């Protein structure tokens, strides 16, 4: 494990069998042309198609291709965590496997980092016309919301295509959190950064691994890991409903005093409905954060490595801190 390349390129992939040959065909000449020692860390995130076999096949011809397999599908961010944890380079880049982020931008990013003396270089999508209208609209809303919640340090439309110095990687590795959203976490650390613009290309093969459900999950994860705003919302809702209750009580008392008391069924019914709805909502919001605390306290591993081509003598080694427990994402 004493091999330390200048650059590690982490590529999380889930069921990307069809994209592997093209990825290798475009990534390899770029990295070979960089003139620095490098490793490519392909993190197979529990693929159920032929991704693993395709990687092994490519690995036979490309010694710098290191293949890491996670025991089960643990999610894009967990696969990135595995990659960052295992990367040995002085600089660590992450790039999607579907070639939506052009590998040709990598040498430029490394140059900007070295010449500009910055620790982070974001790949920023200057043109997303290759994405569907739905993806562009939802991404717009996501980044606007995140800039409000986390601060304007978060570059808009910077996904997980970025270059990090060893110092940043070590800080990220030291974080105890399980669910990490790197596109927000990295800017929040405040390291000097620069941006490299690129045009988002079309997916080279296969279909998106981020259907609507996963996009919503990422947005919710991003919100709750950076902001207690939803909890505060619960407080405000509770306070408003309490004030409303006071008003209703005054109204009820006045109606009783003037002898105009109605049977009152409708107002009672509505009030009970409204208040129980609000209470449930607040309880749910509280539960979200209690759930996060619970997961943090359990401290289960976010992923388990079951194979690492760089350590073939120990093929069953895992990074689980409690190997007997089942990993969950
Ligand atoms: N990915 C992953 N695990 C998952 C889902 C996605 O490793 O559970 C990888 C995927 O193979 C790709 C990257 O994350 O390399 C981004 O996913 P995708 O391109 O499907 O997202 P989109 O570009 O559509 O937002
Ligand atoms: Mg993609």
Of the bound ligands, which one is closest to the alpha carbon of residue 18? 1
pLDDT score recorded for residue 189:
87
Residue closest by Cα to atom 24 of ligand 1: 208
The one-digit pLDDT tens for each residue of the chain (329 residues) are 567 899 999 999 999 999 999 999 999 999 999 989 999 999 999 999 999 999 999 999 999 999 999 999 999 999 999 999 999 999 999 999 999 999 999 999 999 999 999 999 999 988 878 788 888 899 889 889 888 887 777 888 888 999 999 999 999 998 887 778 899 889 888 899 999 999 988 888 888 888 889 889 989 888 888 887 788 788 788 888 888 878 887 877 887 788 777 677 777 877 887 788 788 888 888 888 888 887 788 777 788 888 999 887 554 444 434 333 333 33
What is this structure's pTM? 0.82
| Distance (Å) from CA 174 to ligand 1 centroid | 24
Q: Which residues line ligand 1 (CB under 6 A)?
A: 12-14, 16, 45, 73, 75-76, 79, 96-98, 100, 208-210
Beta-carbon neighbours within 5 Å of ion ligand 2? 96, 98, 100
pLDDT score recorded for residue 245:
79
Residue closest by Cα to atom 16 of ligand 1: 96
Residue closest by Cα to atom 11 of ligand 1: 13
| Distance (Å) from CA 160 to ligand 1 centroid | 10
Give the chain as a 3 state SS string: CCCCCCEEEEEEECCCCCCHHHHHHHHHHHHHCCCCCEEEEEEECCCCCCHHHHHHHHHHHCCCEEEEEECCCCCHHHHHHHHHHHCCCCEEEECCCCCCCCHHHHHHHHHHHHHHCCCEEEEEEEECCCCCHHHHHHHHHHHHHHHHHHCCCCCCCEEEEEEEEHHHHHHHHCCCCCCCCHHHHHHHHCCCEEEEEEECCCCCCCCCCCCHHHHHHHHHHHHHHHCCHHHHHHHHHHHHHHHHHHHHHHHHHHHHHCCCCCCCHHHHHHHHHHHHHHHHHHHHHHHHHHHHHHHHHHCCCCCCEEEEHHHCCCCCCCCCCCCCCCCCC
Residue closest by Cα to atom 14 of ligand 1: 76
- Give the position, in ligand 1's atom list, of the atom nearest the Cα of 203: 19
């Amino acid at each position: 494990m004493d091999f330390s390349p200048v650059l590690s390129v982490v590529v999380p992939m889930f069921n990307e069998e069809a994209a592997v040959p093209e990825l290798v065909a475009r990534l390899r000449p770029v990295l070979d042309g960089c003139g620095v020692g490098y490793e490519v860390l392909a993190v197979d995130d529990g693929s159920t198609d032929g991704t693993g076999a395709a990687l092994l096949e490519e690995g036979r011809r490309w010694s710098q291709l290191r293949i890491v397999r996670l025991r089960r599908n643990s999610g894009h961010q967990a696969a990135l965590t595995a990659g960052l944890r295992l990367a040995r380079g002085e600089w660590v880049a992450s790039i999607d496997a579907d070639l939506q982020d052009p590998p040709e931008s990598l040498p430029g990013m490394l140059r900007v980092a070295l010449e500009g003396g910055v620790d982070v270089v974001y790949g920023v999508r200057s043109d997303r016309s290759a994405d569907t209208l739905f993806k562009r609209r939802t991404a717009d809303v996501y980044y606007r919301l995140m800039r409000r919640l986390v601060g304007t340090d978060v570059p808009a439309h910077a996904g997980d295509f970025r270059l990090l110095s060893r110092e940043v990687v070590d800080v990220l590795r030291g974080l105890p959190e399980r669910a990490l959203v790197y596109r927000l976490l990295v800017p929040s650390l405040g390291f000097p950064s620069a941006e490299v613009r690129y045009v988002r290309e079309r997916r080279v093969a296969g279909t998106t691994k981020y259907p609507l459900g996963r996009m919503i999950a990422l947005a919710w994860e991003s919100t709750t890991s950076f902001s207690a705003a939803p909890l505060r919302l619960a407080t405000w809702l509770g306070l408003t409903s309490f004030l409303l209750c006071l008003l209703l009580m005054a109204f009820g008392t006045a109606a009783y005093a003037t002898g105009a008391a109605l049977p009152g069924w409708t107002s009672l019914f509505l009030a009970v409905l409204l208040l129980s709805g609000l209470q449930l909502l607040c309880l749910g919001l509280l539960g979200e954060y209690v759930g996060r605390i619970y997961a943090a306290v359990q401290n289960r591993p976010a992923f388990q490595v079951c194979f690492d081509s760089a350590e073939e003598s120990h093929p069953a080694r895992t990074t689980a801190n409690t190997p007997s427990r089942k990993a969950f994402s």
